[in-house]
Amino acid sequence: MSKVGTSIETASSILKNNGLVAIPTETVYGLAGNGLNPISVLKIFSAKKRPSFDPLIIHSSKDKIFNWVSYVPDKAQLLADKFWPGPLTLVLPKADIIPYETTSGLDTVGVRVPRHSLTLELLSQLDFPLAAPSANPFSYISPTTAQHVIDQLGNEVDYVLDGGSCNVGIESTIVGFEKGQPVIYRLGGLSIEEIESVIGKVELQINYSSNPKAPGMAKVHYAPQKPLVLVDDFSEAVDDAHTAYVLFNEQLEIDSNRQFFLSKSDNYFEAAAQLYALLRYLDISEFSKIVVKRLPDISLGTAINDRLLRAATKS
């Protein structure tokens, strides 16, 4: 079982020796290794049982992040200036120093500056970026606490840097550029509205198949082991005493012990922060099925719906 603590020095030493450290961010906990070292990168893929076609995001401090890319479009710079540190990943042409193991053979790499004081301090002490997908087995619910990491990857991680609960709770929004035009590849903790307020209209290319252009785009992802049914109206679901309902700003006329709230007050940010922890709780509960109603497609509701659709999709 890996050790848990808040020591930047311990985390830094392990990473410099090609070990793996779970790091806190504002979105979810990441499973981090040296993004320039193929050995460390392959350890990440092995620990997560992640398919080799799914590229990794690299994390670095704001003053170093663009060292790892070969070109930065003007609109990418605008987004970086506005939203970093924060839940934004930019997919840009990679620098030659980034190994293809990190990018799954792609000529582009996802780069991000996370908004968490412990991890920012750690990054400032490293002369290499951290490749860091979510610290959980591939396709399962992402971790938002140190305990979630221990529960799922405790024997695969050398150290868990405990930064408390993640306050955004869903992964970063991924923006790339095709023929100079911005494209959103993955919905996440930064809303479409916020992005368009800075760079204007963006195209959506949300992938639901294999061989993705960016991380976190697999068809089946973020999924509990129990069946999750996504509905447009709760009347569509077949009800029984073993079904749990996940609610947003409404209440059903059923036993209160089967109702679980993402938010009671139309707060999309609260709903995003609660989502993964609630799904994990229900996955180990006595309930045999989870029913969730789609949220309105505004603010972070769009990203939450994306996660629920992937969680409900069965291969």
Model pLDDT for residues 77-116, shown as the tens digit of each residue: 999 999 999 999 999 999 999 999 999 999 999 999 999 9
Model pLDDT for residues 32-75, shown as the tens digit of each residue: 999 999 999 999 999 999 988 889 999 999 999 999 999 999 99
Please indicate, yes or no, whether residues 235 and 158 belong to a single structural domain of this protein. Answer: no
Amino acid of residue 252: L
Residue 44 belongs to some domain of the structure: yes
In the predicted structure, residue 162 carries a pLDDT above the cut 50: yes
pLDDT at 260: 97
Residues whose CB falls within 8 Å of the CB of residue 92, separated by 6 or more in sequence, listed in order: 69, 70, 71, 72, 73, 76, 108, 109, 111, 176, 177
Please indicate, yes or no, whether residues 265 and 163 belong to a single structural domain of this protein. Answer: no
Residue 42 belongs to some domain of the structure: yes
Please indicate, yes or no, whether residues 57 and 147 belong to a single structural domain of this protein. Answer: yes
Residues whose CB falls within 8 Å of the CB of residue 242, separated by 6 or more in sequence, listed in order: 286, 287, 288, 289
pLDDT at 218: 59
Residue 183 belongs to some domain of the structure: no
If you average pLDDT over residues 136-161, what whole number do you get? 94
Residue 203 belongs to some domain of the structure: no
Residue 306 belongs to some domain of the structure: yes
The CATH number covering residue 108 comes to: 3.90.870.10
- Residue 207: both structure tokens together: 């992938």
pLDDT at 191: 96
Residue 30 belongs to some domain of the structure: yes
In the predicted structure, residue 29 carries a pLDDT above the cut 60: yes
Please indicate, yes or no, whether residues 35 and 119 belong to a single structural domain of this protein. Answer: yes
Residue 118 belongs to some domain of the structure: yes
Residue that is last in its domain, among 149, 168, 187: 168
If you average pLDDT over residues 162-190, what whole number do you get? 96
Residue 130 sits at the vertex; the CA angle it makes with 43 and 26, to the nearest 5 degrees, is 115
Range of the domain at 276: 228-312
Distance in angstroms (rounded) separating the CA atoms of residues 291 and 127:
46
Distance in angstroms (rounded) separating the CA atoms of residues 279 and 222:
9
Residue 221 belongs to some domain of the structure: no
If you average pLDDT over residues 16-32, what whole number do you get? 98
pLDDT at 184: 97
pLDDT at 53: 87
Structurally, the chain folds into a number of domains equal to 2
Model pLDDT for residues 242-301, shown as the tens digit of each residue: 999 999 988 899 999 999 999 999 899 999 999 999 999 999 999 999 999 999 999 999
Distance in angstroms (rounded) separating the CA atoms of residues 286 and 130:
38
Residue that is last in its domain, among 116, 149, 168: 168
Model pLDDT for residues 207-242, shown as the tens digit of each residue: 765 555 666 555 567 889 999 999 999 988 888 899
Query: Please, what is the end-to-end C-alpha distance for the chain in angstroms?
Result: 32
Please indicate, yes or no, whether residues 134 and 256 belong to a single structural domain of this protein. Answer: no
pLDDT at 305: 96
DSSP bridge pairs for 88:
173
